[in-house]
Structure 1
Amino acid sequence: MISALSTHLFVYNRLRRQHLAWIAAAGFRRLELWCAEHHFDFTDPAAVADLRAGLREHGLRVQTMHLPFYHGFGTPEFRYIGFTHPEIENRALMGEKMRAILALCEPLDCRCLVLHPVSTPRPDGSHIRRLRAALDWFVPQCRRQGVTIALENIMQPESRTEILAGVCDDYSGQVGICLDTGHAHIDGGLIWQIHNAGRHLIALHVHGNHGATDEHLLPGNGTIDWPAALSALRMLAPNAHYFTYELLGPKTETEETDAHFRALLAAAAGFDGRLPGGRT
Structure 2
Amino acid sequence: MAGYVLVPLCTNSVLCWTRPTFAKRRTMKIGASTIPHRKSPLTRELLKVYVDAGIESLELCDYHPNLDFDDAGFCGLVADWLRELGLHLNSIHIHLRHRDLACDLASLESAQHQRAVNTHLTAVDFAAELGGCILVTHDIVIPEPGEPESVSRRAAFVEGIRAVGAHAEAGGVRIALENLGSGYTREPERLVSLISEIDMSNVGAVIDTGHRHLSGDPGAALRKVGEYLMTLHLHDNHGGKDEHLLCGRGAIDWVDVMQALRDVGYDGVFMYEISRPEDLPALVENAQWIQGG
TM range (shorter): 0.7 to 0.9
SS in structure 2 at match of 1:79: coil
Q: Identify the residue that residue 174 of structure 1 maps to in structure 2.
A: 202
Aligned positions, number: 260
Q: Identify the residue that residue 246 of structure 1 maps to in structure 2.
A: 273
Q: Identify the residue that residue 282 of structure 2 maps to in structure 1.
A: 267
Distance 1:100 1:24 in 2: 28
Distance 1:141 1:120 in 2: 23
Distance of aligned partners of 1:165 and 1:117 in 2 relative to their CA distance in 1, 3 Å threshold:
farther
Q: Which runs of 5+ in 2 are unaligned?
A: 1-27
Distance 1:44 1:13 in 2: 18
Q: Give the fraction of aligned pairs with identical amino acids, expressed as a percent.
A: 28
Give the CA deviation at 1:36.
3.8
SS in structure 1 at match of 2:225: helix
Once the two structures are superposed, the pairs formed by residues 118-267 of structure 1 within 5 Å of their partners are 118-119=140-141, 121-122=143-144, 123-124=147-148, 125=150, 126-159=152-185, 160-170=187-197, 171-235=199-263, 237-239=264-266, 241-249=268-276, 261=277, 263-267=278-282
Distance 1:148 1:185 in 2: 25
Distance of aligned partners of 1:39 and 1:214 in 2 relative to their CA distance in 1, 3 Å threshold:
farther
Distance of aligned partners of 1:110 and 1:130 in 2 relative to their CA distance in 1, 3 Å threshold:
same
Once the two structures are superposed, the pairs formed by residues 24-63 of structure 1 within 5 Å of their partners are 24-36=51-63, 38=65, 40-63=67-90
Give the CA deviation at 1:240.
5.1
The answer on whether the counterparts of 2:36 and 2:275 sit within 8 Å (CA) in structure 1 is yes
Distance 1:247 1:23 in 2: 13
TM-score by length of 2: 0.79
Q: Which runs of 5+ in 1 are unaligned?
A: 73-77, 250-260
Distance 2:78 2:226 in 1: 35
Please, what is the CA RMSD of the aligned residues?
Answer: 2.5
Give the CA deviation at 1:241.
1.5
Distance of aligned partners of 1:163 and 1:15 in 2 relative to their CA distance in 1, 3 Å threshold:
same
Q: Does 1:7 align with 2:34?
A: yes
Distance 1:134 1:90 in 2: 11
One-letter amino acid matched to 1:69: L
One-letter amino acid matched to 1:267: A
Distance of aligned partners of 1:184 and 1:40 in 2 relative to their CA distance in 1, 3 Å threshold:
same
